[in-house]
Chains A and B, each alone.
Chain A
Amino acid sequence: MTLLTNLISGLSLGSVYAIIALGYTMVYGISKMLNFAHGDVIMIGGYMSFIMTMYIGMNGWLAMLVAMVVCTLLGIMIERLAYRPLRGTGSLAVLITAIGVSYFLQNIALLIWGANPKMFTSLFKGMKPIHAAGGQLTITPESIFTILANVVIMILLTLFVSKTKAGKAMRAVSEDNGAAQLMGINVNQSISLTFAIGSGLAAVAGVLMLSTYPVLMPTTGAMPGIKAFTAAVFGGIGSIPGAMIGGLILGIIEIFSRAYISTELSDAIVFACLIIVLLVKPTGLLGKKISEKV
């Protein structure tokens, strides 16, 4: 039964990674950049939700909505101010700028909310965990909702990308920026939209993650950010189902290695798995093989 409990909490953690990884994967797909500030958007979302519930007394769900709006705007703003001026200048310049943005967000949070950890109140505070198998198996509402949210988001996003006009435009831009522009697609708009969706989802992921792991600090987003990025690469960066699969596998590996091998080494094991996957499949599980034309 502990195996099943671990599996469920692994899936739950993996779902959080998957939702964050979506932001990485979509942004990478469309603008070929590693957005290292994405993890810190999660943290900002967490703080927003925290303020709304603690100081304004808003309902948790409403607070999450506010956090989503704030993060969406933040994502658009970051892209507009920091990344757009550097579009087409090579990934290294944008990477460093993204790191600058990440420092900026962390230090802004440090100035406003201080270094002391805040205890986040779970979104599902009132609900009771489900006990099964004679009390041996406990499923928390956080787990259920996180996994559910992941599935719903994944379906909606896949539909959005494949069916809607805006989604198709996004795919066209990620395939060939220049050609898309020639076909009359507004590239700036598409990229902004991608950042908006990614950042909005980051807020959701932040709230869901903090519901299970409630410690909120300015650096809260950093490690999940890196892990989600790893998940995106694991599944094949640029691929939406890849992000989901990568996130889930990563979450399960992490929880299992914590439970059965070593807490201290869990991160090392997660990263080692990533390396092994990339050695076998150099573009991740679902990544497309890119061949250079000679």
Chain B
Amino acid sequence: MADKKDMRNERRDIDISDSGHAYENRQEIYYNDNVGGRAVFVDSKEQYAPDEPYNDQVFIPEKDRGKAPILEVKNLGIDFGGLTAVDNFNLTLGRTEIGGLIGPNGAGKTTIFNMLTKVYEPTRGEIFFDGKSTKGMDTVDINKAGMARTFQNIRLFDKLTVEENIKVALHHTTNYGLIDGMLHTPKYRHEEFRIRKEAMKYLKIFGMTKTADYRAGSLPYGAQRRLEIMRALATKPKLLLLDEPAAGMNPSETTELMDTIREIRDRFQIAVFLIEHDMSLVMGICEGIVVLNYGRVIAKGWPEEIQSNPKVIEAYLGKSRGKMEEEEEKEKNDIEAALRKGRLESAASGKPDAAGKVGE
């Protein structure tokens, strides 16, 4: 896995050549198991990778396959007062994978993040983080174990400065007690000096050192999103969950963000799992993608597969029956074009479509 910068393209090659077999099998299942709009993709260990512990291993990028996955989710589900919000969610995420979670509004994406970070307690299923079950852990424990997240609606500490926002996240590595804090002992001074330098190091990632003394709440929207990512990163996670990191950003900011996310992954060697509606970002940086609709996984795979997957297109555009009205057709084509465009932009080589068929 020579050059990190070319990781994405390299993986794509592997995808098509090495994993061709698994890929075909999956296609079959999509069409065979299409019953009542339920989850199409079901566990069937025998069919995919009999030599690996979980079939989901198939979806881990080649470079992470040798190592234990950072996150394994099995049959996760949650009910809110009788209403099933998420059901039968399975996921395996590689050590340094950038995974994507997409789906229409209200599909349950953020709910999954909330279950992973134990903001909500799952009704069913198990989560193994770094090999350990997260049963009985709360949000604080989860973070201490090495999972950090950002929020869809930005949640910064508005009245603290940018620098302080990072320093709070460095809390657990700041080594002094209440008495030191109350009396500002030499130990306090030493530690504060150290974490100030460290905070600046984090701020440098997004080039935000100049705004270190501004109140976080006074930053522009894009900067707030970036600060939130930095804050999560400062807790030294092994897995970073990003909830719509590009929301409200303009195209050039989004491109910049893509580079930064990749850079973060490469530099800290951590896994990233992100929810995003911006297809150019998702298709551009995600190595594996899970598509969710009505709380159920409808597809999993590499970006190419997802883009051409009829189930996914249906979820986003609605099912076409009989004669389609012109406007609907037009809209569909537009979105399809957008999806394709996003992919083409992201694909450095500009390979031809693997599957160009749309709808039924």
Judged by a CB distance under 8 angstroms, whether A294 is at the interface is: yes
**Per-position 1/0 for A270-294, Cβ under 8 A of B:** 0000000000000000000000001
The smallest beta-carbon distance between B150 and chain A, in angstroms, is: 11
* Band of interface residues on B: under 10
Cα A80 to Cα B241 in complex, Å, equals 48
- Closest approach, in angstroms, between the C-beta of A258 and any C-beta of chain B? 43
- Residue numbers in A under 8 Å from B110 (CB-CB): 294
State in angstroms the CA–CA spacing of A294 and B154 once bound together: 10
B residues 277-333 touching A (CB-CB < 8 Å): none
Task: With CB as the reference atom, state the residue of chain A lying closest to B155.
Answer: A294
With a CB–CB cut-off of 8 A, which chain B residues contact A294? 110, 114, 119, 151
Q: Determine the distance from Cα of A225 to Cα of B151 in the docked complex, in whole angstroms.
A: 42
A: number of interface residues (CB 8 Å):
1
Please provide the chain A residues from 241 to 294 with a CB less than 8 Å away from any CB of chain B in the complex: 294
- Mask of B114-129 contacts with A, CB within 8 angstroms, 1/0: 1000010000000000
Determine the chain A residues whose CB is within 8 A of the CB of B114 once the complex forms.
294
Distance in Å: Cβ of B242 to nearest Cβ of chain A: 15
**Which parts of B117-159 form the interface with A (CB within 8 Å)?**
119, 151
Q: How far is the CA of A106 from the CA of B110 in the complex (A)?
A: 52
Q: Whose C-beta in chain A lies nearest to the C-beta of B149?
A: A294
A116 to chain B, nearest CB (A): 50
CB distance from A290 to the nearest CB of B (A): 15
A64 to chain B, nearest CB (A): 46
Chain B nearest CB, measured from A288 CB (Å): 13
Q: How many Å lie between the Cα of A167 and that of B114 in the bound state?
A: 37
CB distance from B85 to the nearest CB of A (A): 13
* Interface residues as binary, A216-258 with B (CB distance below 8 Å gives 1, 0 otherwise): 0000000000000000000000000000000000000000000
User: How distant is the Cα of A294 from the Cα of B112 in the complex, in angstroms?
Assistant: 12
Q: Considering only CB atoms, which chain B residue lies closest to A292 in the complex?
A: B119
Beta-carbon contacts of A142-186 to B below 8 Å, as 1s and 0s? 000000000000000000000000000000000000000000000
Bound complex: CA of A229 vs CA of B119, how far in Å?
Answer: 32
CB distance from B87 to the nearest CB of A (A): 20
Query: B173 to chain A: closest CB distance in Å?
Result: 26
Closest to A293 in B: B153
Min CB distance B148 to A, Å, is 15
Bound: A156/B67 CA distance, A: 69
**From residue B86, how far is it (CB to closest CB) to chain A in Å?**
14
A residues less than 8 Å from B119 (CB atoms):
294
The residue on A at minimum CB distance from B117 is A294
Closest to B80 in A: A291
Contact residues in A for B151 (Cβ distance below 8 Å): 294
Q: How far is the CA of A294 from the CA of B118 in the complex (A)?
A: 11
User: Measured between C-beta atoms, what is the minimum distance from A294 to chain B in Å?
Assistant: 5
Q: Tell me the B11-33 residues at the A interface (CB within 8 Å).
A: none
A294 to B275, CA, bound (A): 14
Q: Contact flags (1/0) for B94-111 with A, using CB distance below 8 Å?
A: 000000000000000010
**Residues of chain B whose beta carbon lies under 8 Å from any beta carbon of chain A:** 110, 114, 119, 151
Instruction: Write 4 A-B pairs (CB below 8 A) sorted by A numbering.
Output: A294-B110, A294-B114, A294-B119, A294-B151
Considering the complex of A and B, which 4 residue pairs feature the smallest CB-CB distances, nearest first?
Answer: A294-B119, A294-B114, A294-B151, A294-B110
